[in-house]
A and B are shown apart, each in its own frame.
Chain A
Amino acid sequence: MSSKTAIVVGRGPAGMLSTSYLLQRGYQVTVLAESDGSLGMWPGDFSFGRTTDAFQAFPIELSSAEWSQAFGELVALYRSFGVTLVLPQAQDIPHTVTAIGNMRPTFATPNWQYASSEPESLVFVGIDGLADSIVGAQAATYRRRSGCEAYEVSLSRPPGWDSSWGTIRFAAYLDGDAGASWLAATLREALRGVPSGIPVVLPQVIGLEHTEKLLTQLSEVGKRSVSEFPLLSPSIGGVRVRDRWERLLRQQGVRFVSGRVREVQPVPRALLTDGRSFEADCLLLASGGVLGGGMQVTVDGAIVDELVNREVGRMDHLDALDAHGHREIDCLGGGRVLAVGRAMGGWNPNRDHNGGAMLLATVRTALGMCEEVDR
């Protein structure tokens, strides 16, 4: 057991990415986390920048060659746990449609999610009994925003439905044989009379495990593209990514330790509130921003990272928050304790659609620094 060891604090997107990349570099990794992380709260795509500036570097500068390489690695990583990521071509930023019919720029997108760089006519499918489904208002908004046609169809409630069904229940139901055949039959019936060839978008509940198979079957039967648009939290897309990614990491021998980290020391060492302590050659702090719990907001408005006992900003006004709290990446231990992702100080995920960029840039930079220290 002579391999290098690493501790990752947090199992959200930054923690998972760090863990995978550390494994690739030969580290034995222990993940310390109190809860399951925020992957299940977001649709699972990586967003980069509000505008056409897809390669904005935040807060670390990467060259465009480095970005290309980073994206290549990301695509390969997702493929290893069974998710196909689609990247945009050249300077076209594709847009997905949202639960309320807006268009949102998206970047590295799992292929179950609808994305298109040109607005086009769409068929919006609603499901009666799914609370997030507001197909009338959604299609009306889409028409206004895109200037394209939006057809509306509604599927009736599935057999066995009751009013407590949320998105997870629909997804689990559609994963089963009964759900899959209900969907195929109901959708075929509902699309009768809608001009052929127009792409269909469904709420993101098409299974947790068999999504790709289900969507392919629906596309083949209906002879048109069938894909999903993301709903609210819990985001089924994020849950799919989380479940598959964690399964791979477990099989690769990663230890997921449950517990609250009380303090991080430069050694590097992590102390848990229950008295356990963990040491390793390097420690990546992927404890997140305010949403992830890495940053706490106190009653008097201070934004605090309790693990390293630092105030990183103040919450005097919401709009000012994103600019606050960036801290030096090698915060402790001469480059052996490194903060990544939102733990770098980004207060809030995706206010500016740049969470993906921040993740990739900080994790890659941190890993580079780990190797530097080892030399």
Chain B
Amino acid sequence: MRVVVIGAGATGLGVAWDLVLRGIETTVVEAQEIGSGTSGRFHGLLHSGGRYLVTDPSAAKECYEENMLLREIANEAVVATGGYFVKKYGDDDAFEARWLNQAADLGVPVHAEKVGDLRAELGMLTESIQRSYWVPDGVLEGFKMLSMLVRAIQSRGSNVLEHTKAVKLRLAGERVNGVEVQAPEGTRVLDCDAVVNTAGPWAGLVARDWGLDVKVQPSYGLMLIFANRRLDKVVNRLKSPSDGDIFVPHQEVVILGTTDVAQPSPEAPEPRRSEAIRLMALGSELIPDLGSWRVLRGFNGVRPLYEPSGVTGDSRKVSRDFAVLDHGERDGLAGAFSVLGGKWTTFRLMGETLGDQLVASFNVDSPSRSREVPIGVEVKRPAPVVKDDRGALLCECEQVYESDIKPTVSSPMQLRFGTWFSMGPCQGTFCAHRVLGRGDEDGFADELATLRREREHGLTVVGWGANARLIALEQSISAQSLGEER
């Protein structure tokens, strides 16, 4: 059996991994780059389920179970930081009571933590915390997990194709038997027995191309990245999930999430300063001194929420749970499936559920193995033995050396997948021309300009304090030392 999966985000790769383990030959096609949609733009939280205990119990239970499972099978991409839910004086007591009841009912472990102990550990938190609870929240390193999945899928003989867009289904009667794809090298048809739409926020558009009506509700959320990891536990506000109520430590940074605004388009909009200011104000309710924390940039991610009954306009109320549609049953298009909604944390379960339905529809008995097979270890780039073989230090923030960027690579996105250059506190002010100038000489100026524009957008929305001075420095360097006209 052969399956084509559309979209190489967490959902698509989770689906492909589950199918590959069942012995099904799978090809993942991705119109852009791996993780360039929602999966590369999230806050990094590995949910304990705590966030959805009251509002979305089934999502909560799934999150908790998958959280525990991922620690076993993909430990390298999980950091078990633990997290706290904190209730401030004045926050709803009834919500807290229901939250505790639900935790007990659903089996999500929650331990009361003395507020004094909490503040001794996390002294930056507000003094007006009334009660606090520990939960098994963690951090999911998205890019690491994606690269582990890609490697695992490829090591079992299946494929992940970037810059390859699915344009059309080829049918044999009412059954899918191929997908026509457009790639840089031309158009071709991938033969298959089934196709799975895992295009995230674009899933509604993919289904429309198939002539189907699927109610995807894209909703964007702004997140702010703080330059240093000043906090090393996840911190949630204990109340109904809302804007600016969660801090996640992620590698060297801390991410504050998020807003939730329904929009028709699957594309992430430009972040807006007024929203960043609002998020800062909300975040300050938990960390009063937040204004003195350096924000690196703001970015928007788009949730691919699924609302079976149609678009509601209030995206906070749309379930975080996922759904698998068998379009053969639903719409008479046999062999076509969609996986919709869901969380990063539950990507594996989404794969398993899809896999079960898919094999059942073909009357094949092939149980899922993704629960027990480890996803595998990411292979690290070997570090040169002799220090100075690394060449000059190009990116001081993220320690990228000349040797890290050789051989010459073709696109900045690819570069960034391997290195973190331009993602650190200088936001490309110093490293951008050094790194790109060592790449493709012809496209140098264009790439540099594109990267600077992109960085500037992210910086400008958080252009206050030291960041305003970084923007001034960046522009001064651009104008004076680099002689770049705007």
Contact = CB atoms under 8 A, between A and B. Distances in A.
B441 interface: yes
B277 A301 contact: yes
A34 interface: no
Contacts of B442: 140
Interface stretch (B58-66, B145-153, B202-210, B470-478): B470-478
A308 interface: no
Contacts of B392: 128-131, 133, 163, 165
B481 A297 contact: no
Contacts of B280: 299
A42 B430 CA distance: 14
A132 to B, nearest CB: 6
A163 B401 contact: yes
What size tier do the contact residues of chain A reach?
A: 35 or more
B402 to A, nearest CB: 8
Contact of A233 (B387, B460, B481, B484): B481
B393 A43 contact: no
A163 B393 contact: yes
B479 A350 contact: yes
Given A163-B392, A233-B477, A351-B479, A291 B277 contact: no
Interface string B442-486: 101100100000001000100111001101110111011111101
Nearest to B477: A232
Interface stretch (B119-127, B182-190, B432-440): B432-440
Interface string A98-140: 1110111000000000000000000000001111111011101
A140 B482 CA distance: 15
Given A104-B483, A136-B441, A233-B481, A131 B473 contact: no
Nearest to B476: A349
A100 B445 contact: yes
A290 B438 contact: no
A347 B433 CA distance: 25
A353 interface: yes
A316 B393 CA distance: 36
A348 interface: yes
A42 B476 contact: yes
A145 B483 CA distance: 12
Contacts of B117: none
Nearest to B473: A291
Given A41-B473, A290-B468, A100 B441 contact: no
Interface in A158-217: 161-165
Contacts of A296: 465, 468
Nearest to B276: A299
B471 A163 contact: no
A270 interface: no
A162 B401 CA distance: 12
B391 A42 contact: no
B390 interface: yes
B441 A350 contact: no
A235 interface: yes
B291 interface: yes
User: Which of B393, B444, B472, B477 has the most A CB atoms < 10 Å from its CB?
Assistant: B472
Contact of B441 (A43, A128, A129, A140): A140
Interface residues of B, number: 43
B450 to A, nearest CB: 14
A347 to B, nearest CB: 8
B483 A103 contact: yes
Contacts of A128: 392
B365 interface: no
A47 interface: yes
A349 B448 CA distance: 21
Interface string A71-109: 000000000000000000000000011111011100000
A315 interface: yes
B394 interface: yes
B472 A353 contact: no
A162 B388 contact: yes
A231 interface: yes
A318 interface: yes
Given A43-B480, A137-B437, A297 B390 contact: no
User: Which of A289, A299, A349 has the most B CB atoms < 10 Å from its CB?
Assistant: A299
Nearest to B391: A163
Contacts of B393: 131, 163-164
A305 B178 CA distance: 66
A316 B468 CA distance: 12
A60 to B, nearest CB: 22
B273 interface: yes
A324 to B, nearest CB: 13
A293 interface: yes
B391 A129 contact: yes
Contacts of A289: 472
Contacts of A316: 273
B444 A232 contact: no
Contacts of A347: 472
Contacts of B464: 297-301, 315
A140 B433 CA distance: 14
A141 interface: yes
B400 to A, nearest CB: 10
Contacts of A351: 475, 479, 486
A230 interface: yes
A136 B442 CA distance: 10
A136 B444 CA distance: 10
B463 A297 contact: yes
Contacts of B438: 134, 137
A176 B465 CA distance: 40
Interface string A297-338: 111110000000000000110100000000000000000000
Given A42-B480, A98-B481, A350-B479, A161 B388 contact: yes
Given A130-B392, A137-B437, A293-B469, A232 B481 contact: yes
Interface of A: 41-43, 47, 96-100, 102-104, 128-134, 136-138, 140-141, 161-165, 230-233, 235, 289-291, 293, 296-301, 315-316, 318, 347-351, 353
- Counting from the closest, the 8 A-B pairs by CB-CB distance are A134-B437, A104-B483, A297-B468, A98-B483, A291-B472, A102-B483, A137-B437, A131-B392
10 contacts: A42-B481, A96-B483, A137-B444, A163-B390, A163-B391, A163-B401, A230-B481, A291-B473, A349-B480, A350-B479
Given A161-B388, A349-B472, 14 more contacts: A42-B476, A98-B483, A100-B484, A136-B441, A137-B444, A140-B442, A164-B393, A233-B430, A290-B469, A301-B464, A318-B471, A349-B480, A350-B476, A351-B475
Interface of B: 273, 277, 280, 291, 387-388, 390-394, 401, 430, 433-434, 436-438, 441-442, 444-445, 448, 456, 460, 463-465, 468-469, 471-473, 475-477, 479-484, 486
